[in-house]
Amino acid sequence: MSRRLAEVARKVGVSEATVSRVLNGKPGVSEQTREAVLTALDVLGYERPTKLRGERARLVGLVLPELQNPIFPAFAEVVGGALAQQGFTPVLCTQTAGGVSEADYVELLLGQQVSGIVFAGGNYAQRDAVHGHYERLTGRNLPVVLINASIEDLPFPRVSCDDEVAIEQALGHLASLGHTSVGLVLGPHDHVPSERKLHAAKLASERLGIDLGERHVVRSAYSLESGQAAATRLIKEGVTGIVCASDPLALGAIRAARRAGLRVPEDISIVGYDDSAFMNCTEPPLTTVRQPIEPMGRAAIDLLVNQINGGSVPQEELLFEPELVVRGSTGPAPVRAPVPVP
């Protein structure tokens, strides 16, 4: 007990006597100090006294699918900063292959009496994934916000980048450079943001005069290696431009082009999605569609805190418009030599 008092006191910057008063429910402690002591208990992994366990901690779970894609650490930074400004402490939960699942993290966070959870890029975006843990959150009436597109039947506020506008911007850019044969590298078949991108791409390609047949759409996991494999297939189809559903996929496509002896952008143009960290430092610098992560992250926390404070929030999806960032990986369509007639 004395060790716990000492650790919590050091964490908060108060005396052990003050910590003891909070744990025993004694008066004479400000609400701010009381909340700080309870949050420190949660952060340090100590159980709250039984009479205090019914109260939610000033902790908020942030559940991410990975940290290898730089867009997710970027979201974590924005969301964590916005939470700190509101007096909450983020608890980062990152999935790894064969490690703790999203459902397991939900149970862990519920055990910590968190005030709410923000999900970015989770199971909610895939139709065939496990969704039972979201029902647990609904049953607990826990404030939740989802970042980026989800399946339709989840009753949580959503903050999304407009996937349809993003793909229209990318295809429009390539069309303006004279490209008429373009390939897409998208996520899995049950991935909602990829479904939206594909729907918009079919409409835009007809309007722009771009050949986008079935063989020009390749599904992929979200990794550089998968992007390389997918782009290799498209290069064999003879496309002059490739639009990818993430920046790591686009970097894989650039690697595939080089392995095939092609120059970027002289022989083939490549567009990414996210504008994650260091994409202006690649060779060539990557043309990409930027997600507005700063306003999206702040809007997500505003929605979450409004729920925590008992306010009502809109259930419809809040869509944020992306921005095309043109750099060195796109250029005019190459002039193909005429095929000799036998």
pLDDT at 1: 55
HSE (side-chain half, CA atoms, 13 Å) at 103: 7
CATH number of 39's domain: 1.10.260.40
Query: Both tokens of residue 67?
Result: 């940290």
Both 274 and 169 in a single domain? yes
Q: What is the pLDDT of residues 236-264, one digit of tens each?
A: 999 999 999 999 999 999 999 999 999 99
Looking at residue 8, what is its pLDDT?
85
Number of domains in the chain: 3
Residues 11 and 120 in one domain: no
Tell me the CA distances in angstroms from 283 to 74, 89, 270, 278, 280, one per residue in order.
Answer: 22, 38, 12, 11, 8
Residue with tokens 């149970």: 107
170 & 153 share domain: no
Please name the residue that has the structure tokens 């744990």: 23
Specify the pLDDT at position 342. 46
Which tokens belong to 183?
Answer: 């390939």
Dist. CA 241–CA 171, nearest whole Å: 9
Which structure tokens are listed for 223?
């990794």
Classify residue 329: in a domain, yes or no: no
pLDDT of residue 335: 80
Look up the domain containing 207 and give its range.
Answer: 163-291
Q: Are residues 149 and 297 in the same domain?
A: yes
Residues 213 and 139 grouped into a single domain: no
- For the chain, which ranges sit under pLDDT 70? 1-2, 47-57, 97, 336-342
Say whether both 235 and 254 belong to one domain. yes
Would residue 332 count as lying in a domain?
no
CATH code at 181? 3.40.50.2300
The reply to whether 194 and 257 lie within a common domain is yes
What pLDDT shows up at residue 341? 43
Same domain, 36 and 100: no
- Identify which of 79, 3, 92, 89 has the alpha carbon closest to the alpha carbon of residue 42: 89
The residue among 269, 288, 276 whose CA lies nearest residue 329 is 269
Q: What is the pLDDT of residue 336?
A: 65
Same domain, 125 and 95: yes
Say if residue 147 is in the same domain as residue 109. yes
Q: Is 129 domain-assigned? A: yes
Q: Are residues 168 and 147 in the same domain?
A: no
Q: Encoding tokens for residue 260? A: 């095939």
SS3 of residue 113 by DSSP:
coil
Same domain? 252 vs 224: yes
Q: Is residue 6 part of a domain?
A: yes
For residues 226 and 204, give the distance between their C-alpha atoms in angstroms, rounded to a whole number.
Answer: 25
- For residue 32, tell me if it sits in a domain: yes
**What SS3 class is residue 13?**
coil
Q: Which of 258, 267, 255, 188 is nearest to 227 (CA)?
A: 255
